[in-house]
Amino acid sequence: MSYSTLTYITGSTITLSCSITEDGNPQATWTWRCGSRTFNSGITNSVGRSNLTFVVTKTDNNQPCTCTASSSVGSYSQTSGPATLDIRYPPHGKPLMSYSTLTYITGSTVTLSCSITENGNPQATWTWKCGSRTFNSGITNSVGRSNLTIVVTETDNNQPCTCTASSTVGSYSQTSDPATLNIQDPPQGKPLMSYSTLTYITGSTVTLSCSITEDGNPQATWTWRCGSRTFNSGITNSVGRSNLTFVVTKTDNNQPCTCTASSSVGSYSQTSGPATLDIRYPPQGKPLMSFSTLTYITGSTVTLSCSITENGNPQATWTWRCGSRTFNSGITNSVGRSNLTFVVTKTDNNQPCTCTASSTVGSYSQTSYPATLNIQCK
C-alpha cells in the first residue's frame, strides 16, 4: 500500500488499494484486515491488485490496515506494511459543568472544569466565558475535558461562566449551561507580627500582637501557637487585630510563635510568619569539678574541667582562678562546660583552683569548690 496514514471523515465510503509486482498463476488470494476486523466483502481483485471498499466509523480510528496476498503455489504468503486509519469525527454530547453555583474567595486561584461525553478526532476546541470576559489563557485541555484556571475578583460576583466545545468536523458547536460565580469577601492579607525575634526574661508576662490588612465579615477567628502549645486563654481580639498575653518560661526558648486568622467565608485560613521567642534564664546549679586534689609534674600542660547542671540563655560566662592567678587565655567553653588548659609550674603547688559561672540574667554567679594543685618536681 502506497500510504502509511489514511485520513477520512466517519461515515465515508473509502477504497484501499494493494498491489504486488507480479501476480502468479493461479492469481493470488487476497485477505484484508483493519485492526481486529477481517473483511469478507467489499473486496475486488484484478491481476496483481486488490481493492477494499467499506464505510469507516469512529471505531476504525487508529486501526492499522493490511492486505495479504497468498498462493497455494510455493507456500507464498506476504503481508503489506500497515496503513493507519485517521478517522475524523465530531465530539458527542453537550458540555457539562457539574455545578450551578461556584463559591470562592476573592483573589483565589480557581479551576473550573468542563467535560463532554465523548471527545472527537481531532479533539474539540474549547472556549471559556465568564460574563463579558472571554479567556485566552489559563486553559488546559485533555481528552474530553477542559480546565480554566483564573484568579477571581469581586467583579466576577454573579457572573455566569460557560464553556463551548467546537469541532471542524460536522459543524459541531455546543455550549454548557452556565455556572454562576459567587465571590465572597474574607479577611484580606496574611497575618503580620512586626518582629522576627522576641527577647524576654523567664517569668515575664508578655503580650504578642498580630494584625491583618483588612478584617472580614464576620471578623476573623484567631488561633495562637508557640511551638507545640496552642493557647485557649489570654487572647483578646479587635477589628483586624489579635493579642496574646501569657507568662513565658525557659521551655518557651527558641519556640516559634504564630497567629492564624480563619474565616468561615471562603475557607480563609492564613498563618503569620513565625516570631521566635528568645527567653533569657540563668544557669542552674553550682559549678562542679569532679576532683579535690590535682597532681601534676611541673612543666606539664594540664586541662581542668568544670560543669553546671544546666546552662542558661545566654550561656554562662566562665572565670578561672588558681590562687592569685586569674586566667584570660586557655579557656574553651561549650554548653554547660568550661575547660582551662595551661602549663603548671612549681609556684602553682598547693594553689586552690576554682571556676565561676556567671550570667546577666537573675544575678546568677556561682563558684565551684576548690581543687588544690599538687605540683611535683621532675
Beta carbons within 8 Å of 343's beta carbon, 6+ residues apart: 299, 300, 301, 302
pLDDT for 306 equals 95
- Tell me the C-alpha distance between 257 and 275, whole Å: 5
User: If we measure between CA atoms, which residue out of 318, 320, 319, 307 comes closest to residue 348?
Assistant: 320
Q: What is the DSSP letter of 60?
A: G
Domains in the chain, please, with CATH? 5-88 (2.60.40.10), 101-184 (2.60.40.10), 197-280 (2.60.40.10), 293-376 (2.60.40.10)
Q: State pLDDT tens for residues 181-190.
A: 888 777 888 9
Per-residue confidence band for 356, with pLDDT thresholds at 50, 70 and 90: very high
* Mean pLDDT computed over 353-369: 92
Judge whether residue 217 has pLDDT over 70.
no
Judge whether residue 267 has pLDDT over 80.
no
Q: Is the peptide bond before 26 cis (omega within 30 degrees of 0)?
A: yes
Judge whether residue 332 has pLDDT over 90.
yes
Q: State pLDDT tens for residues 277-294.
A: 999 999 989 999 877 777
Mean pLDDT is lowest, of 1-10, 167-176, 248-257, 317-326, for 1-10
Per-residue confidence band for 369, with pLDDT thresholds at 50, 70 and 90: very high
Q: State pLDDT tens for residues 144-179.
A: 999 999 998 878 888 999 999 999 888 899 999 999
Judge if pTM exceeds 0.85. no
Q: What is the DSSP letter of 192?
A: B
Using alpha carbons only, give the angle 53, 56, 57 rounded to the nearest 5 degrees: 160
Q: Is the peptide bond before 282 cis (omega within 30 degrees of 0)?
A: no
